[in-house]
Amino acid sequence: MYRPPRIALGRADSIFKACRSSRLYATSSEPTLRTALFFPGHGVQRKGMTRPWIEAFPQICKPFLEEMDEIVKCKLSTLIDEGPILQLDKTENAQPAIMAVSIMILRVLEQEFGFKTNEVIDVTLGHSLGEYAALVAAGNLEYAYALDLVRRRGEVMGECTRKAKEESGEEFGMIALVCEPEQLEALTAAVREFVSHGAEGTKDDSSALPAVQQVAIANANSKNQIVLSGSFQRIRNMLVHIREFGGHDPRAVELKSRSAFHSPIMMPAYEFMKKAFTPDKVTFPGRVPCICNVTGRPFSSKEDLVNNLARQAVDTVLWWDSIKYLDKEAGCRRYLGVGPGKVGRNLVSKEVGRSSAKGGGVWSITEPSEIEQTLRDLEATAKEVVK
């Protein structure tokens, strides 16, 4: 069983004072150090993912998970701990579970280690579902409200998938296409060309097709990866088409999802969000800015946040644009991931690497055993900048 290290607990104040003071560093030739906090999306759920946290920090995690169960009105904590995994993988269960565990880890950092999110962190972002946790961390949404919204949205999304299967008799999900970076632009253009056409690549307008027959670009994840969403059979038909006629041969990787997120079949989820999510539930500005999935830029107003969080259900997640904006325009040098799984860290690292710039780095906290080294690295990178 993991035990929180005494050295990290004892040095928390000095560590985060150093982190805070690093934000004051600026010269005309070197940007102010900026630190981003990011959260994972759907697919990182696993049975037992709360167990090490409960064992290490029971005084924080047990009450937190009890509150989670009250908010979602079921014993989600038991499902996370014991399974069965087929039930946990359902959208209406997986999404609130991932979001809640992400915020629980952040609460451990804040309450046990003195981590002051609004002082250490300059900006937040989250991949797809992770955007909700990012908005909570940024101070735009209250945790309980956001979790309830994610649960209800997940129920609508689950029903979208079930209806699509019944209507078409096909299976739905998501497939990542991976290619060489220099080929991505042409590959994306070929996919968009196919998507803009009708069934089987004919010259009909695809928007006139039933939602179940459409393929969408769900995520633009990195310099060499996009993710397609829709019927598996129709995605495979498209791959045959672009390989035969477009001269592209990307590696196709089926993702851990049996729903076509960010595609036209999710239009009922968009409509749900338009009705259920209103500006009076939003605090704007928050404590720190939050990056919008569908624009790759910070939310600009309360109305912008409400509109684009609804659109996210059916629009492409511009993750690569978000990271490029932070890296190239905002001067972000430190990226801290919080939540289950390593997918988010891997995507960020692929784009910015473990930056050689002074005070740079990419870290993630997915298990209690990662806290001590991460805190040390944050302290070290902060000192590199302020000395």
Instruction: Band the pLDDT of 360: cuts 50, 70, 90.
Output: confident
Asked if residue 264 has pLDDT above 60, the reply is yes
Average pLDDT score over residue span 154-181: 96
**Is residue 154 located within the same domain as residue 271?**
yes
167 occurs within a structural domain = no
Give the tens place of pLDDT for each residue, 90-117. Answer: 999 999 999 999 999 999 999 999 998 9
Q: Are residues 145 and 278 in the same domain?
A: yes
Domain-located, residue 20: yes
Cβ 272 vs Cβ 296: under 8 Å: no
Residue 44 and residue 154 share a domain:
yes
14 vs 207: which has the higher pLDDT: 207
Using pLDDT thresholds of 50, 70 and 90, give the confidence band for residue 260. Answer: very high
Q: Does residue 130 contact residue 38 with C-beta atoms inside 8 Å?
A: yes
**26 and 129, same domain (yes or no):** yes
The per-residue pLDDT for 28 is 35
> Is the same domain home to 49 and 193?
no
pLDDT at 359: 72
Q: How far apart are CA 36 and CA 121, in angstroms?
A: 6
HSE-up of 20 (CA within 13 Å, CB side)? 12
Residue 37 per-residue DSSP state? E
The CATH number covering residue 218 comes to: 3.30.70.250
Domain that holds residue 204: 172-257
Residue 207 has pLDDT above 60, yes or no: no
CATH of the domain at 299: 3.40.366.10
**87-100 burial by CB neighbour count: b if 16+ within 10 A, else e?**
ebbbbbbbbbbbbb
Burial class (CB in 10 A: 0-12, 13-18, 19+), 192: exposed
Residue 259 is predicted with a pLDDT of 93
Tell me the pLDDT band of 206, cut-offs 50, 70 and 90: low
Domain boundary among 203, 227, 257: 257
> pLDDT of 67-83, one tens digit each?
999 999 999 999 999 99
